[in-house]
Amino acid sequence: MTYRAPVRDQLFVLREVLGLDAYSNLPGFADAPMELVEQILTEGAKFCEEVLAPLNSVGDKQGCVWSADNTVTTPKGFKEAYKAMVDAGWPALGSEPEFGGQGLPRVIGLAYSEMSSAANMAFSMYPGLTHGAYSAILEGGSPEQKALYLPKLASAEWGGTMNLTEPQCGTDLGLLRTKAVPQGDGSYKISGQKIWISGGEHDMADNIVHLVLARIEGAPAGVRGISLFIVPKFLPTADGGVGPRNEGVKCVGLEEKMGIHGNATCFMSYEEATGWLIGEENSGLKLMFVMMNEARLGVGLQGLSQGEAAYQAAVTFAKDRLQGRSLTGPKNPDGPADPIIVHPDIRRMLMESKATLEGGRAFLLWAGLQGDLIHLAPDEASRQKASDYMGLMTPVLKAYFTDKGLKIASDAMQVHGGSGFTEHFPASQYLRDVRISLIYEGTNGIQALDLVGRKLAANGGRAVMTFFADVDAFVGEHEEDKAVAPFIEGLKSVRAQLQDGTTWLMQNGLANPDNAGAASMDYLNLFALTGLAYMWAKIALAANAAITAGSSDAFYANKLTTGRYFLERILPDAGAHLAKLKTGAGSLMALDAEAF
Amino acid sequence: MTYRAPVRDQLFVLREVLGLDAYSNLPGFADAPMELVEQILTEGAKFCEEVLAPLNSVGDKQGCVWSADNTVTTPKGFKEAYKAMVDAGWPALGSEPEFGGQGLPRVIGLAYSEMSSAANMAFSMYPGLTHGAYSAILEGGSPEQKALYLPKLASAEWGGTMNLTEPQCGTDLGLLRTKAVPQGDGSYKISGQKIWISGGEHDMADNIVHLVLARIEGAPAGVRGISLFIVPKFLPTADGGVGPRNEGVKCVGLEEKMGIHGNATCFMSYEEATGWLIGEENSGLKLMFVMMNEARLGVGLQGLSQGEAAYQAAVTFAKDRLQGRSLTGPKNPDGPADPIIVHPDIRRMLMESKATLEGGRAFLLWAGLQGDLIHLAPDEASRQKASDYMGLMTPVLKAYFTDKGLKIASDAMQVHGGSGFTEHFPASQYLRDVRISLIYEGTNGIQALDLVGRKLAANGGRAVMTFFADVDAFVGEHEEDKAVAPFIEGLKSVRAQLQDGTTWLMQNGLANPDNAGAASMDYLNLFALTGLAYMWAKIALAANAAITAGSSDAFYANKLTTGRYFLERILPDAGAHLAKLKTGAGSLMALDAEAF
């Protein structure tokens, strides 16, 4: 079996867990009743399953090929699939109608992204980063820039890239050297070397719009002197067509990587390339973070989606492969052996994956809904709350679900046994592909630092206090509901642990910032588990409501069982994370560097 | 920096933690005073660092190449290194002097194996499996077979392989189909297909001795009808030379794998190949487990060794790479940024690795010492105890340290950031290579089942009771020693948790075997953490003794700090494992297979 998009589960989350119908008075949502959402996701699933998924292994095996004329050839079939995607309008689902987008809620676009990323992660990065470029220009571009670039980026007829990293400068953008020299006509000459540029050059789009961080001559040192520029591969004509080649922009090579071979990871050289400033001088970092934050949520989704695809492959293998007998007597007595799904330790890996994926899907779509409410909620308080949530949860979702995506992919390989280590089965590619998601758009360690160093403290801790208040209200509302009692108990208990960890951080992080850094990753995990417990309680309520209403669909009873697995076998990690984070920086920072 | 063998740490464990000098009255040990051990390991380190390590990346990039004439070419340089290894006598360290071996304690051979496996895992598998074949023939071969094969296998002039797996039969050897037909002259004709045969064909040894599991015509079905055969690539002449080609033995292809590209993973075809029975008819499985158990300990060591090599690469990168500033103020004020080793979350990954590796090294060498005592201890009670320990700990060591080896390799990649995902740095290869160690020689799930299903219950639970008694005696002896109080406290606490888990298993595993299967992996982890706590307490005692005796070598103080990290930030996982295992098979086995 190849990948099957989990449309049923997505619709359950959107309709029954998040109650999307309740938002039908909001713009965007008004035009997307659940019947239409179901149609869109069903069609999207078809495209991902039938067009993108079959190219996943092709992309891995062929990879992208760089030629000495600085062009890049994508794997066989990618170009046709890209054109089909543009023609079908998939990249434009959530973009603004004034720029040719369909104006649907972002949460619907996110659901589609899960499927496309699961079907073919390397391919889906091309439109994914293009949408990031779209968002940055939408946020900071001039009306002329918007008119010129946004329609092409919304449709993905033109590709988009993010150019941050330089050889000496990754996480620490203050070290950035690429320079921009004003030409007096509103344009700049951009010169510098950029590395790890995903989709920096390829043969699928009519043009590629590079968003490049650079330092204008004379700008302050460090991060305060960084500006953002549009540097297109071909200079656009005034009517939005493709003009002459921007000669100074070149892809001078490709990175050889462990995975995502179908995505061109480029060394880019800018030699007096023509570019235009977006927004104000020296405000480039702020705009880049518009792309970055969107990308971070997308990367969390990549973790989940690769996990889902790998899990599906493992399930198929576990049902087919006959080895050994069930510990409680043969389950396939007429066959030579039982399918390995009868073995408890195989089950453990599958259930662990399933519980993480289904809870994670709800968590990510919940966050996607916050992304809509930031813009669409009718009152300022609701918009602010959504924005606080988005800020708070983005690092949590990025780090936790990429980390778990790797674990699930590794467990999927383990279910495959020796077959999984060979390249004849898909497990190896999922593991190799997903591994980058823990690193790019800010390593998971950077996410943890963002959480404890910035997001927690922002606005006097408003976001985390809002979260606690929402959880408490939810618990209060459902505490008497016996049918979901273990879920409310579990949530209360982990919420208390998160409170404990938060208090510890506030008391000890200021006294010694290394305490905050030392606690950051365990705190992030504790936060994610609390969020998951919240989501599983919501899922249990929705499932229980359906059962109470008379549904005999096993889907709902299975949700309660899977949720019970989460409570019994995933949530206990919270206590270990709390115990570790409270030990502080002591033993962690004590050794001299020479002792390693 | 390339790999540097941790000779200092090995000698510390052998001399100060395990007190090897106390065994100098035993054969083998008598000929290996610590001064000689130090010389041997220092020379071994040189060979591994200078000859094997430089070929590690070459092997990964070139891989082995199969030709249509059924030959396999190893990567450039492997052949010369293999010859140098044979000439230097490294494979024969622990083999019996009567067959040309050096008769050194196995624990010394194990220490050398750590270095060679860390330097080049794919390469070191060739002599590793050869030694397994040596051990099986030593255990079950006739005097003539021993005389003919053992000297060549001891030196590794001839290679050795294990042929278990067939396409339909991996873990479940009862499904095995390869057949053996007696020829009346003491020989058999062997026919069948074997897959995943490491070193099944290559160009480095004069001959390859395949040990093949097959079913003699008319033998009982299932595992009771399996016999073990010697099937050499070239038929030996009576004087131990290389005779004519055994025409029926062919490598018909190589597996394409995620890692260990330098090791030839062969599809083997046997078509009426000539073979000879080892030991009794239908007793093949028992003999194969002689190889298997030795191999399992070796695989645990592979996990540790790849972790060590990856950790070293991460340390080098973390000291070199300048990004960002320490949270407590610049540590490299004259440079553009601080080395990333100043950041707590980088430290967390390095300390987690270091604490696991140093504790694990002691644990594995302790187990290696048991392997010697099985044969050499002067009294039957001591031999039995060593044998019990070896049986009990082998699955624990195999599963835990391969799992942690993968985690450490993944964290090493994380320390590298984006560079780690590229193939220009070594992190990717370590991660890809180590991944197989969780699978082969019995998946880690099979190890967990072996632990709870066989090793715990064997002889009325004698082994685990002996372990508890030893730990209790150790605790009693050192409970008043204030200098190591936290280590004794930690050990007592996790020992109580292990007792709790063991009692739960005994009460619930019999009632429903699925409970035992469901608990097995968490129980194994709890067991490993208890063993590590025991080792860290021994390490702390040794370090403290040196400090008390006046040593100002930072090595000892660093041990106490690293041990404190283990207690504070690794040991808390024990509670989570205990909580999970006690939930039983309920939520884990509840779903129908169709629900996945």
Work out the number of other CB atoms within 10 angstroms of the CB of residue B76: 12
Give the C-alpha distances (Å, rounded to integers) separating A595 from A513, B10, B319, B341, B363.
22, 16, 11, 12, 21
- For residue A221, list chain B residues with Cβ-Cβ distance below 8 A: none
Supply angle C-alpha B284, B287, B288, rounded to 5.
80
pLDDT per position as a tens digit, B247-287: 999 999 999 999 999 999 999 999 999 999 999 999 999 99
- For residue A343, list chain B residues with Cβ-Cβ distance below 8 A: 445, 517
Cβ contact, residue pair B327, A517, below 8 Å = yes
Q: B32: which DSSP letter?
A: -
CA-based nearest residue in chain B for residue A449: B345
Supply angle C-alpha B534, B537, B540, rounded to 5.
150
In which element (H, E) is residue B460 found?
A: helix B458-478
The terminus-to-terminus CA distance of chain B in angstroms comes to: 47
Average pLDDT, chain B: 96
Cβ contact, residue pair B431, A258, below 8 Å = yes
ipTM of the complex: 0.97
Give the model's pLDDT for residue B510.
86
Whether B348 and chain A come into contact, CB under 8 Å, resolves to: yes
Question: Is A263 within 8 Å of A123 (Cβ atoms)?
Answer: yes
Which residues of A belong to the active site? 441
pLDDT per position as a tens digit, B312-338: 999 999 999 999 999 999 999 999 999
CA dihedral B144→B145→B147→B152, nearest 10 degrees, is 160
In which element (H, E) is residue A44 found?
A: helix A34-47
- For residue A168, list chain B residues with Cβ-Cβ distance below 8 A: 322, 336
- Segment A307-325 mean pLDDT: 97
- Local confidence band at B507 (pLDDT 50, 70, 90 cut-offs): very high
Task: Judge residue A489's burial from the number of C-beta atoms within 10 Å of its C-beta, 0-12 exposed, 13-18 middle, 19 or more buried.
Answer: middle
Question: Which amino acid, B268?
Answer: M
Positive or negative CA dihedral for A357, A359, A364, A365? Answer: positive
Phi, psi of A184 (to 5 degrees): 85, -15
Work out the number of other CB atoms within 10 angstroms of the CB of residue B68: 6
Tokens matching residue A284: 């480039």
Positive or negative CA dihedral for A82, A83, A86, A90? Answer: negative
pLDDT at B1 over 60: no
- Across-strand partners of B538? none
- Local confidence band at B27 (pLDDT 50, 70, 90 cut-offs): confident
Tokens matching residue A244: 């002459």
Cβ contact, residue pair A449, B345, below 8 Å = yes
pLDDT at B456 over 70: yes
Question: Is A290 within 8 Å of A131 (Cβ atoms)?
Answer: no
Of the partner residues A195, A259, A438, the one whose CB lies closest to the CB of residue B414? A438
Q: State how far residue B590 is from chain A, nearest Cα, in angstroms.
A: 7
- Segment B461-472 mean pLDDT: 97
CA-based nearest residue in chain B for residue A417: B439
Cβ contact, residue pair B351, A169, below 8 Å = no
- Segment B387-395 mean pLDDT: 96
Number of H helices, E strands in chain A: 19, 11
Number of H helices, E strands in chain B: 19, 11
Phi, psi of B269 (to 5 degrees): -115, 125
Q: State how far residue A109 is from chain B, nearest Cα, in angstroms.
A: 26
pLDDT per position as a tens digit, A572-596: 999 999 999 999 999 999 999 999 9
Give the model's pLDDT for residue A202.
98
Whether B351 and chain A come into contact, CB under 8 Å, resolves to: yes
Give the model's pLDDT for residue A171.
87
- Across-strand partners of A315? none
Give the model's pLDDT for residue A304.
98
Beta strand A179-182 with A207-216 is parallel
Beta strands in B263-348 (DSSP E): 265-278
Whether A32 and chain B come into contact, CB under 8 Å, resolves to: no
Whether B353 and chain A come into contact, CB under 8 Å, resolves to: no
In which element (H, E) is residue A489 found?
A: helix A485-509
Lowest mean pLDDT among A267-281, A284-298, A475-489, B63-77: A284-298
pLDDT at A514 over 90: yes
- For residue B513, list chain A residues with Cβ-Cβ distance below 8 A: 327-328
Question: Is B275 within 8 Å of B229 (Cβ atoms)?
Answer: yes
Pairs across A and B, CB distance < 8 A: 259
pLDDT at A485 over 90: yes
Q: State how far residue A391 is from chain B, nearest Cα, in angstroms.
A: 21
Average pLDDT, chain A: 96
Residue with tokens 């490299």: B332
Give the model's pLDDT for residue B28.
87
**3-class SS at B228?**
strand
Cβ contact, residue pair A322, B168, below 8 Å = yes
Give the rounded distance of the alpha carbon of A553 from its chain centre.
31
Give the model's pLDDT for residue B171.
87
Rounded to two decimals, the pTM is 0.97
Q: B75: which DSSP letter?
A: P
Whether B587 and chain A come into contact, CB under 8 Å, resolves to: yes
Q: B453: which DSSP letter?
A: I
- Local confidence band at A293 (pLDDT 50, 70, 90 cut-offs): confident
Whether B320 and chain A come into contact, CB under 8 Å, resolves to: no
